[in-house]
Chain A
Amino acid sequence: MDRRRPFNARAMSWQVVGYLAMAFIVIMMGIPLFWMLTGSLKTLGEIYTFPPVWIPNHPQWSNFSDAWNRAPFERFYLNSIITTFIGMSIELVNATLTAYALAFLRFPYKRLVFILILAALMIPSQVTILPNFLTMANLDWVNTYQGIILPGASVAFGTFLLRQYFMGLPKDVLDAAKVDGCSHLRLLWSVVIPMSKPVLVTFGLLSIVWKWNEFLWTLVITNTLDMRTLPIGIAYLFDVEGNTQWGVVMAGTIFVVAPMLVIFLLAQRYIVEGITAGATKG
């Protein structure tokens, strides 16, 4: 565009403004992550100094081993991985089965089931923490994995997301399978699931992110350090190290966010699709 109209100074200057604005956004939005990364490698002297040190001169890799040793991070990781992946798997199975039933199976009171799921969508988990805690106490499931996982394992949003995708699958393929005498289980397993991989990946990834970062419920349902997950664990490390050992604390925050950053770099597209799916239907 610039080459065709070399003297369009007005368009040029708008472009410059655009790039400056982009640079400004990257700096403002990126500084916290940059500060976390560089802070994790700084000496205490580099942290408590003015003017600020942007690039650590003597990278303190020991901050990472110190963080790892001062809180039981191997337990936090284990707990986070177990609760995240089991929770995500149950959610995925629940969403797939319910969405299949709603999309393809005949049932006289289907409308009622719909309304129930919609009602569940309207009850946020934060409102039910107290009674759920008491239920868990009665079951003797406080401070257990099932206690952490089960209240978050039912799916409303994912059910609607998957059902919508299932309804958009090519009708003739499904009909052909039906004519061939395909049973519903077979239709689900060999036709619907393989054809729905993108939406299943999207929902699975979103579910992983939510569960990895879950805070309030895990905070109230666990009460010993060896059952805490990473988000609660990092708050613990911060309480222990306080406002002094910032290098060590920043290294700890990287333990928590790194897996999600990797997922983001590998699968940004799927996640963005999942987030926009609810908002921009035709």
Chain B
Amino acid sequence: MSDAQQALDPGAGRTGVDLGFRERISGWRQRAGRSEVILFLLFIAPNMMLFSVFTFWPMIYNMYLSTVRWDMISPTRQSVGTANFEYLLTQGSFHNVLLNTFYFTAGAVGGTLILGLLFALLLNQPLRGRDGVRAVVFAPTLLSGAAIAIVWIYMFDPRFGIIAQMLALSGITSPRWLNDPSWAMVAIIIVYVWKNLGITLVIYLAGLQAIPKELYEAAKIDGAGPLRTFWSVTLPMLSPITFFLFVTSLLSSFQAFDIIHVMTSGGPVESTMTLIYYVYEQGFVVFNAGRAAAAALVLFVIMFVITILQLHYSERKVHYG
């Protein structure tokens, strides 16, 4: 499965689909014939073979790799038990990686959700040209993260970049963005939010359009003002969608790679080194397979727990709904 797309996340944890196990065509009363079973197996075989080789097997292989010390070249792998995990848990640099990941995720998820909702509220009004505005917001979600990261490097240039020049017009000296450890992550978050905002926008718009008009009429009759209507009608009605977006944005932000790779490569001074970037660096830059595998497992466990929580919550919604 490809990455978000970046961000256009192919739906990691996207479980909004119907998982009912009922048979669709009740007219076929007879038990599954032998030929039908064979056909079923034939139909699922290519997909299942690819899953086995490139999804399930690597998960198991990864667990094994997390218990060895290996430079990916030498023919022997030294078994070290849980040493890789102990290293990660006790090393300040890995704590720093976790903090960076948390910082990035908070900014990315908060930014896309809040701005997405605000934009959706505006573009849900009967204003002329709103479809064009929606298109402008949505377009970046389809573009290569690597290519747009380069455009933003051009814009973030501390001397001749458009951002520095605009700040200069207001008398502000531009920070050195990508060269400054305290600003680099801010820059990455800005780019990520810019690129992924379109997804939350269109989903929030769909959610707003699904709210029954009667609720607004009732609120009006009760004499509720716009703010009151927003707090008591719109926001509660959007809460399932907000939860869905919260979880999916969280999961896709953990997978953000191309923007970071092109803009900062995890620097300066590891200030933009997130968990996924750490996995890449340990595996493919410093060739420490064991440590990369252990970090990948940490990433997986975090994402897995989030997904399980979402499934649990969604199922409860179904029962109570």
| A residues neighboring B (CB under 8 Å) | 15, 18-19, 21-22, 25-26, 29-33, 35-36, 39, 47-52, 90, 93-95, 97-98, 100-108, 110-111, 113-114, 116-135, 150-161, 163-164, 166-167, 171, 174-175, 178, 184, 206-207, 209-217, 219-220, 230-232, 234-235, 238, 243, 246, 249-250, 253, 256-257, 260-261, 263-264, 268, 271-272, 275-276, 278-281
CB distance B279 to A15 under 8 Å? no
CB distance B55 to A246 under 8 Å? no
Q: Which partner residue on chain B sits nearest A52 by CB separation? A: B165
Min Cβ gap A18→B in Å is 5
Min Cβ gap A35→B in Å is 6
CB distance A101 to B40 under 8 Å? yes
Q: Which stretch from B83-91, B94-102, B200-208 is at the chain A interface? A: B200-208
Most buried by B among A175, A217, A246: A246
Min Cβ gap A217→B in Å is 8
Within 6-27 of B, Cβ neighbours of A (below 8 Å) are at 6, 8, 10-19, 21, 23-25, 27
Contacts of B41 in A (CB 8 A): 107
CB-defined interface of B277-321 with A at 8 Å, one 1/0 digit per residue?
Answer: 001100110000100110011011001100100000000000000
Within 242-274 of B, Cβ neighbours of A (below 8 Å) are at 244-245, 248, 251, 254-255, 257-258, 261-262
Q: Which stretch from B105-113, B131-139, B228-236 is at the chain A interface? A: B131-139
With A159-B47, A175-B25, A213-B143 already in contact, the answer to whether A25 and B54 are too (CB < 8 A) is: no
With A126-B257, A154-B1 already in contact, the answer to whether A18 and B127 are too (CB < 8 A) is: yes
CB distance B144 to A213 under 8 Å? yes
Beyond the given A107-B41, A272-B138, A276-B202, please list 13 additional residue pairs across the A-B interface where CB-CB is below 8 A. Answer: A39-B151, A106-B28, A110-B40, A122-B304, A123-B59, A155-B1, A210-B5, A213-B2, A215-B257, A231-B258, A261-B139, A263-B142, A279-B245
Bound Cα distance A130, B60 (Å):
12
CB distance B17 to A278 under 8 Å? yes
Min Cβ gap B50→A in Å is 4
CB distance B36 to A105 under 8 Å? yes
Most buried by B among A127, A128, A209: A127
CB distance A211 to B2 under 8 Å? yes
Min Cβ gap A2→B in Å is 11
CB distance B37 to A107 under 8 Å? yes
Bound Cα distance A90, B46 (Å):
9
